[in-house]
């Protein structure tokens, strides 16, 4: 059985979906995926909250429930480490190891819309602390520039290179939508690169051709499920029953996954 890190060095990208509870984790595992990752926005949605609205304890308890749901390796979205200081980040990563996770990600988003990304020096210090606390946890370092209006590819690459030097195992800059930019990122770092699959962005086959090691979907599967619920509720209010066809697919999948 290859290790979680080994899965990032295969001939094709690791497709890593993002379940939001134990049931969705088991469903996805039954389809044949090799690993799972939590989604901060999807989990927050299950609590009726927006992304960023969960505590460290809640996120880690949720991650542990996903770990317990299947035998697959699980990486946790731990946002910015649930604290600004390197010590905060180290404490979060130490707790993540105790939750049985195979991996975890730490981002450089401050949580402050007025000043959304930590200075590079501060961000690197946080990744160093995470690496020192990670043990055999596969640490993904995220540069959040593109999600927060900083459309500066050179700075994004410079940050990813700095996180690589700090010891991160996997690098991730969510928001890349141009295949040329993906290729440039991959070419300029020496670690596996994760890319967030986006509507209108490169397809998995294009990302594979660009040398991407891992492809994730973030909260998209949760929102797809939420969209199906909205559609079903809207149909029922209109006196329609179009939702039964989709429910049949879900019932069959659940029966197979939960048996």
Measured CA to CA, the distance from residue 96 to residue 75 in angstroms comes to 9
Residue 43 confidence class, pLDDT cut points 50, 70, 90: very high
Q: Tens digits of per-residue pLDDT, 45-58?
A: 999 999 999 999 99
Q: Which two tokens stand for residue 32?
A: 């044949």
- Residue-wise pLDDT for 117-172, tens only, equals 999 999 999 999 999 999 999 999 999 999 999 999 999 999 999 999 999 999 99
The two tokens of residue 187 are: 């070419």
The upper half-sphere exposure of residue 186, i.e. CA atoms within 13 Å in the direction of its Cβ, equals 21
Let me know: does 130 contact 84? Beta carbons within 8 Å: no
pLDDT band of 242, cuts 50, 70, 90: very high
Of the CA atoms within 13 Å of residue 232, those in its CB half-sphere come to 12
pLDDT tens-digit map of 4-34:
999 999 999 999 999 999 999 999 999 999 9
Q: Which two tokens stand for residue 176?
A: 């890349």
The two structure tokens encoding residue 188: 């300029």
**Exposure of 155 in the CB half-sphere (CA atoms within 13 A):** 15
d(Cα 13, Cα 208) in Å, to the nearest integer?
Answer: 6
| Gap between the Cα atoms of 29 and 24, Å rounded | 8
What pLDDT is recorded for position 143?
Answer: 98
Predicted confidence at residue 243, as pLDDT, reads 96
Q: Tell me the per-residue pLDDT of 184-218, one tens digit each, with 9 for 90 and over.
A: 999 999 999 999 999 999 999 999 999 999 999 99
Q: Report if pTM > 0.75.
A: yes
Confidence of residue 259 (pLDDT cuts 50, 70, 90): confident
Asked if residue 65 has pLDDT above 90, the reply is yes
Domains in the chain with CATH codes: 6-219 (3.20.20.60)
Torsion of CA 239, 223, 73, 122, to 10 degrees: -160
Q: What is the pLDDT of residue 68?
A: 98
Rounded distance between C-alpha atoms, residue 206 and residue 93, angstroms: 33
Whats the size of the chain, residue-wise?
A: 259
Q: Which pLDDT value is given to residue 1? A: 77
Round the CA-based radius of gyration of the chain to a whole number and report it. Answer: 18
CB neighbours of 133 closer than 8 A, spacing ≥ 6? 89, 90, 91, 93, 94, 97
If DSSP codes are grouped into helix, strand and coil, which group holds residue 136? Answer: coil
pLDDT in tens, 77-125: 999 999 999 999 999 999 999 999 999 999 999 999 999 999 999 999 9
């Amino acid at each position: 059985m290859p290790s979680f890190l080994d899965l990032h060095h295969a001939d094709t990208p690791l497709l890593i979906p993002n379940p939001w509870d134990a049931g969705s984790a088991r469903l996805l595992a039954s389809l044949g995926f090799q690993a799972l990752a939590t989604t901060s926005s999807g989990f927050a949605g299950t609590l009726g909250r927006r992304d960023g609205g969960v505590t460290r304890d809640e996120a880690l308890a949720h991650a542990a429930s996903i770990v317990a749901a299947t035998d697959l390796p699980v990486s946790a979205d731990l946002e910015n480490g649930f604290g600004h200081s390197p010590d905060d980040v180290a404490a979060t990563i130490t707790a993540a190891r105790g939750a049985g996770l195979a991996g975890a990600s730490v981002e450089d988003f401050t949580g402050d819309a007025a000043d959304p990304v930590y200075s590079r020096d501060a961000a690197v210090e946080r990744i160093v602390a995470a690496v020192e606390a990670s043990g055999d946890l596969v640490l993904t370092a995220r540069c959040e520039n593109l999600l927060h209006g900083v459309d500066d590819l050179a700075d994004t690459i410079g940050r990813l290179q700095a996180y690589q030097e700090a010891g991160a195992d996997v690098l991730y800059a969510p928001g890349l939508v141009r295949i040329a930019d993906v290729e440039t990122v991959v070419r300029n770092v020496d670690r596996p690169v994760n890319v967030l699959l986006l509507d209108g962005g490169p397809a998995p086959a294009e990302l594979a051709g660009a040398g991407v090691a891992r492809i994730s979907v973030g909260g998209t599967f949760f929102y797809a499920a939420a969209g199906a619920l909205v559609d079903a509720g809207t149909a029922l209010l209109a006196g329609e029953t179009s939702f039964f066809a989709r429910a049949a697919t879900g019932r069959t999948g659940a029966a197979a996954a939960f048996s």
